[in-house]
Structure formats: C-alpha cells, structure tokens
Amino acid sequence: MQDENVSDTTTMKDKVVMVTGANSGIGKAASLALAKMGATVIMVARNKERGEAARFDIIGKSRNNSVDLLLADLSSLESVRQLAVDFRRKYSKLHVLINNAGLFNQRRRVTVDGYENTFATNYLAPFLLTNLQLDLLKASAPTRIINVSSVGHYNGHINFEDLNLENDYGGWKAYGQSKLALVLFTHELAKKLQGTGVTVNAVHPGTVATNIWTRPFGPVGFIMALPKLFMTSPEKGAETIVYLASSPDAKGLNGEYVEKLKVKKSSDESYNEEIAQRLWDVSAKLTRIS
C-alpha cells in the first residue's frame, strides 16, 4: 500500500538513506516505500539471513537494485562504531538517517557493554550512530534524521540515579525511558543543528502489528495474534517516517514530535532543557564520544 499523503511523484533518486531495523515491521515497510521512490537504501539488520531475505523482497517489489545491507548488533557500541566505518567504506553521502530499530524487553537484559539492553538498543545506539554520521549528514545537506520514538515516551522518565534500572526494572518503565530519551535527544540535537541544513524529528508510528508485540512473549507470542488484528499495518505505520524522510512539506520541520503526519506536543519532561543537556552529557560519556 502506498502512502496516500506522500505524492507518488515524490522522488528520492540520488538520495542515500540508512534505515536501522530494516528487515522487519515498520523499518522494512519504510525501506520499501523509499526504494520505490528511487532512493539508495542501506538497510541495517543484525541477522544476515533475515536481512538478506528482506533485501531481496524489497528489490523485487520496488524494482530498485540500489538496496544494500549492512550488519550490526545495535546493542553493542563497538558494533555501532563498526557500522559507521562499514558505511563510509562504501558511501560518501548520507541524506536521510532513520533510527528505527527498537525492542521491548519483558525481563531485564544487560548488553556486552554492561548497559540495560532497552536503553542501549533503543537510545544509546541512535545517539552514537547519529553522532558518528553527523559530519557526513552536514556535508550532504540538506539532510534529515528521523528518530522512531513511541507514545510510550509519555509514561517515561529519565532515572539518572539508575539509568540501567538495576534496582527496579519493568519492561514498560525501560521502554518509556528509552523512548523519552530519544525525544529529549531530538530536541537537544535540533538546537545544535540549527543553520546546518540538517534536521531531526521524532515519530510515533501508531500501534502497529509487528514482531515487537510477539517477540517478548517467546513461545507464547501467539496470544497476541488477536490484538494484532486490530493494529495498523506496517505500511501505515511507516507513513509518517516516509513523509519526514521525503516530503518537501516536511523540509522545515526540526525538533518536532510527529504522529499521523502532524506535529504533536510531546511529554512535559521531553521539553526540559536541563534534563536534555544532562542526558546528552551522560550519553556522550557512556558512548565515549567527545
């Protein structure tokens, strides 16, 4: 299904787009839509088989051969750094970065770097990857960054005293914190990017029928089969992302939270500049960027 709000004639020819979590769900649907518009799409996945299967599917459906795959486990900072290196070995421009990969962990898990997995994958990875790609994005301007957040950020809070939620873990608490962190990052980065020709916005894609709802339940994931029937399709969920990535109408948007193609107010905490600055400083330390 093609996005009705993005004109069929919108072209992304000569644009290089990087999409994380591109083998599944919303990221795959966004990759396909942008490939159909003629973009060179660099898909990022952690599993080669799943990544290649999605890449072949997208090439077949879009008839666009300029769809590439890079592998990275975004829960690992070293893997994120290697991803940026691998990208630069092949590409000298980047016009759109879509930080889409994300997950929900019912139980607390810790990454190879010792961080809580939801925070590391959903937030620290986009923070680091974006910072590593910033010079390329600036050199390729006008360019756009899209952070896939969630309505779950409204219930989020940044627990500076226990960012890794060692003392009181909850799946939704971790998810909300990570998605709020992404919105705070979006606001802070938008300020820093003023006048550079690079914009950054956050998105809530809607409640979308994807693996994110079934994977946390493991073998009993089938219990979500019925609720998933009432959720929107990945194609519909990708609409706002594709709009922000490609539409001339979205050119001037910077530092916004967007849902169903409309700018919306994000949570009160997301506008707290002190928290945003503190989070940036902590994140820079955790990811060891200057």
Which residues are at the interface with ligand NAP (CB under 6 A)? 21, 23-27, 45-47, 50, 73-75, 100-103, 121, 148, 150, 204-205, 207-208, 210-212
What is the b/e burial string over 3-37, where b = at least 16 CB atoms within 10 angstroms of the residue's CB? Answer: beebeeebebeebbbbbbbbbbbbbbbbbbbbbbb
Cis omega before residue 234 (within 30°)?
no
140/243 with CB nearer ligand NAP = 243
Cα four-point dihedral sign 104, 106, 107, 108: positive
44/163 with CB nearer ligand NAP = 44
Least separation in angstroms between residue 115's CB and ligand NAP is 12
- Which of 115, 123, 175, 257 is an active site residue? 175
Least separation in angstroms between residue 199's CB and ligand NAP is 19
Least separation in angstroms between residue 140's CB and ligand NAP is 24
Q: What backbone phi and psi angles, to 5 degrees, belong to 227?
A: -55, -35
103/140 with CB nearer ligand NAP = 103
Q: Is 169 tagged catalytic?
A: no
Least separation in angstroms between residue 234's CB and ligand NAP is 6
154/271 with CB nearer ligand NAP = 154
Q: Kindly state the DSSP code that residue 250 receives in the 8-state scheme.
A: G
Query: How far apart (Å, rounded) are the C-alpha atoms in residues 290 and 288?
Result: 7
Q: Tokens 């750094």 — which residue?
A: 81
Catalytic residues: 175
